[in-house]
Amino acid sequence: MTRRGLLARLAGRPALRTGLLLGPGALWLVCFFVVPLAILLAYSVMRRGAYGGVEPGFTLEHYARVLDPLYLGILRRTVVLSLATTAICFLLGYPTALVIARSGRWRNLLLFLVVLPFWTSALVRTYAMIFLLRDTGFLNAALRALGVLREPLHLLYTEGAVLAGLVYGALPFMVLPIYASLEKLDPVLLEAAEGLGARPWARFRRVTLPLTLPGVAAGSLLVFIPTLGAFVVPDLLGGAKQMMLGNLVQNQFGPARNWPFGSAASFLVMSLVLAAVLLWLRRRDRGALAREGP
């Protein structure tokens, strides 16, 4: 059969064509997402093996254990840090995106600079932050040389260091979607607002911001979800004291050799993400339905 013949046959059979287009991707996801997820779910209700792994049986004790105050504290910190990361990324990212969107011919260069950190591994960048923040690091040395400080500030292994690292890693994911929505914003709407008497701040609050909220929402999800599962940054910049859920999961599969508990904790993270997304979708739909009165 010739190639032409194959294409002609496909054109006549939309179901087959859709299957061929969708098949490879679907197969990939089934193999490497659905199957491991099912295994993880099974592990989370099985008994812990003595040297890692699992033993047959059924128990919900691992889920019960997640509710232990110790772990709830980690959960709380994870959610708070993720929300704070998202908020800071928004506060830093929106003005950045605004400037880039209005920068004319410099736009591409600035966008390039935003994604430049991706050119090196996140691990290397995080280690670089250690050298920046530690007691004998660049920041302390500089502040002492300037006479601002006598004793070094303990910056590393604090919640602040973790937050700084998380924001640094996630910022481009906030900037890019906001930039995209600003780019789509029709400039004539801004002129209309100005023509109707809106000063710059009112114009931003009443027109620019509401019309770019989809970009803010997309950026927030892109920042919040990966931050919930972060483990490299809190591990390297937070040490043992600033554990997040990601570290807990990593620990259970690693040194603690408690795979069922690690699985249960993973599902906890996942259910949090799911809850966050559903909440956002519901709010968005309600927003679309709600009509402000005259």
Partner 1 sequence: MAHPEGGDAVVEFREVTRRYGGVLAVDRVSFAIRRGEFFSILGPSGCGKTTTLRLLAGFEVPDAGEVRLFGEVVNRKRPYERELAMVFQSYALFPHLTVARNVAFGLEQRRRPAAEVRARVQRALELVRLDPGTFARRLPAELSGGQRQRVALARALVLEPRVLLLDEPLGALDLKLRKEMQLELKQLNQQTGATFVYVTHDQEEALAMSDRIAVMSEARVAQLGSPAEVYENPRTAFVADFIGEANFLPGTVTGPAPGAPALVEVALPAGGAIRVPAAPGLVAGAPVQVAIRPEWHDLFRPGEAPPAENALPGTVRDVIYLGETMHVLVHLADGAAVRVALRNEGQLAKPLPWRAGDPCVVAWLPEDCQVLEAP
Nearer to partner 1, 211 or 270 (CB): 211
**Residue of 156, 170, 207, 225 interacting with partner 1 (CB under 8 A):** 207
Quick check: 184 binds partner 1 (CB under 8 A)? no
Q: Is 243 in the site for partner 1 (CB under 8 A)?
A: no
CB of residue 181 vs partner 1: minimum separation in angstroms?
12
* SS3 track for the chain: CCHHHHHHHHHHCHHHHHHHHHHHHHHHHHHHHHHHHHHHHHHHCCEECECECEECCCCCHHHHHHCCHHHHHHHHHHHHHHHHHHHHHHHHHHHHHHHHHCCHHHHHHHHHHHHHHHHCCHHHHHHHHHHHHCCCCHHHHHHHHCCCCCCCCCCCCCHHHHHHHHHHHHHHHHHHHHHHHHHHCCHHHHHHHHHCCCCHHHHHHHHHHHHHHHHHHHHHHHHHHHHHCCCHHHHHHHHHHHCCHHHHHHHHHCCCCCHHHHHHHHHHHHHHHHHHHHHHHHHHHHHHHCCCCC
Residues 6+ apart with CB under 8 A from 135: 152, 153, 154, 155, 156
As measured in angstroms, the least distance from the Cβ of 198 to partner 1 is: 5
Nearer of residues 130 and 213 to partner 1, judged by Cβ? 213
Closer of 15 and 188 to partner 1 (Cβ): 188
The answer to whether residue 151 forms part of the interface with partner 1 (CB under 8 A) is: no
Closest approach, Cβ 83 to partner 1, in A, equals 26
* Residue 114 contacts partner 1 per CB under 8 A: no
Least distance (Å) from partner 1 to the CB of residue 180?
17
User: According to the binding rule CB under 8 A, does residue 149 interact with partner 1?
Assistant: no
Cβ contact 164:151 at 8 Å: no
Q: In the set 194, 217, 226, 273, which binds partner 1 (CB under 8 A)?
A: 194
The reply on whether position 8 binds partner 1 by CB under 8 A is: no
* CB-CB contact of 288 with 272 (8 Å): no
| Nearest residue to 78 (alpha-carbon basis) of 236, 255, 283, 238 | 238
Q: Which stretch binds partner 1 (CB under 8 A): 54-62, 67-75, 113-121, 187-195?
A: 187-195
Name the residue nearer to partner 1 (CB basis): 68 or 183: 183
Residue 286 interacts with partner 1 (CB under 8 A)?
no
What burial class does residue 205 get, using C-beta atoms within 10 Å of its C-beta: 0-12 exposed, 13-18 middle, 19+ buried?
exposed
Q: Does 105 bind partner 1 (CB under 8 A)?
A: no
**Candidates 60-68, 83-91, 99-107, 198-206; binding stretch for partner 1 (CB under 8 A):** 198-206
From 119, 146, 186, 286, residue interacting with partner 1 (rule: CB under 8 A): 186
Complex with partner 1: residue 3 or 105, whichever CB lies closer: 105
Output 4 or 199, the one with its CB closest to partner 1: 199
From 93-101, 172-180, 188-196, 250-258, span contacting partner 1 (CB under 8 A): 188-196
If binding is defined by CB under 8 A, does position 197 make contact with partner 1? yes
- Summarize as ranges the residues that interact with partner 1 (CB under 8 A): 186, 188-189, 191-199, 202, 206-207, 210-211, 291-294
